[in-house]
Amino acid sequence: MNALIRILSCLLLAAAFSAPVLVIAQEAQSQETQAQRQKTQPMNNAPVWRAVRSGDEQYTSVKGRETGVLIQSQGETWRQIRNGPVSIIGGWALVLMVLVIGGYFSWKGTMRLHSEPTGKKIRRFSPWERLIHWSTAISFSLLGITGLIILLGKHVLLPVIGYTLFSWLTQLSKIIHNFIGPLFILCAICLFITFVKDNIPRASDWIWVKKFGGLFADEHVPSHRFNAGEKAWFWGGLSVLGLVVGASGLVLDFPNFDQTRSTMQIANIVHAVGALLFILGSLGHIYMGTLGVEGAYEAMRTGYADEAWIREHHEYWYDDVKSGKIAVDTSPQEAAPGSGARPQAQG
């Protein structure tokens, strides 16, 4: 038994000492092969560059993640995806969305009220709700514009304005984008907390969905404070896509947390795709809140909407306000001058 142990110990020692010898021998053989190649094929450094581009960790005196990797070949894959499918498909998708909205507006025009305005106003949004909505909307718009300049600018703007102006514009866009990004995340979180209680799906929302919200028929479908389309934008746009672009944006905005290049590249593609989808959805949301529906922009700008407008677009919510289920307040100054109307309910 002791003899067997001594034999195994000798074998382990031999293996431990032979490993470095094998490595040294392999390196020597590689150098010898390279030296021979230089004689037969001068200036052919293919083996060296093959090893460099392998992505394997090599030795360096500078310590840190990926510091031993001279060239990361996956970066070329990232560049081709970003400048290829993401930019091309995303760019044409935006053009198509604008054409669809323009065509729909040419066909249907602005959705008007079926009844005459009463002149009586009901408060639809509080000052805080309007403040957080417009803060989110403005920061999102700045991010969308600057992001599109960064992503698509060299395909669209560079041939038109030239290198000097495009360089200045892109650098400015990058600075604005980096600093506005965290502000947008904060605003989006506040917006979510503010409106989540009114965006819980209800059974009546299915009626709105089946009728496409009356977009293709001459009718207005009743809803609660927010209709199914607005709820879909809240959950799919603000919540899901907001989380995607926010998280990936923070990875890109703060590289000092020692992210690897591959992590940054993946985050960049996720951020670009999520942002393009976000912008596509926002175009429809902006259209419906301005040109698409008469009175919608006024409600968010002033906080008040005509009683007839609320009854026609958000009948269930209007009934809750009138029945007292929703806390109300009076606002004498909102009554139409000379109408003799009583102070109006607010909710």
CA nearest neighbour of 261 among 58, 76, 48: 76
Within-domain flag for 313: yes
CA nearest neighbour of 289 among 230, 240, 210: 230
Q: What is the pTM of this model?
A: 0.79
Q: Both tokens of residue 335? A: 């009554």
* Domain count for the chain: 1
Q: Which residues form the domain of 133? A: 120-334
Instruction: List C-alpha distances in Å: 282 to 31, 98, 104, 140, 150.
Output: 60, 11, 16, 9, 19
Within-domain flag for 64: no
Within-domain flag for 62: no
**Tell me, what CATH number does 139's domain have?**
1.20.950.20
For residues 44 and 37, the answer to whether their CB atoms sit within 8 Å is: yes
Mind listing the pLDDT tens digit of every residue in the chain (347 residues)?
Answer: 666 556 555 555 555 554 444 445 555 566 666 666 666 666 666 666 666 666 666 666 667 677 777 777 788 899 999 999 999 999 999 999 999 999 999 998 998 888 888 888 889 999 999 999 999 999 999 999 999 999 999 999 999 999 999 999 999 999 999 999 999 999 999 999 999 999 999 998 998 998 888 888 777 888 999 999 999 999 999 999 999 999 999 999 998 888 888 899 999 999 999 999 999 999 999 999 999 999 999 999 999 999 999 999 999 999 988 887 876 453 544 444 433 344 444 44
Within-domain flag for 90: no
Within-domain flag for 83: no
Within-domain flag for 3: no
Within-domain flag for 276: yes
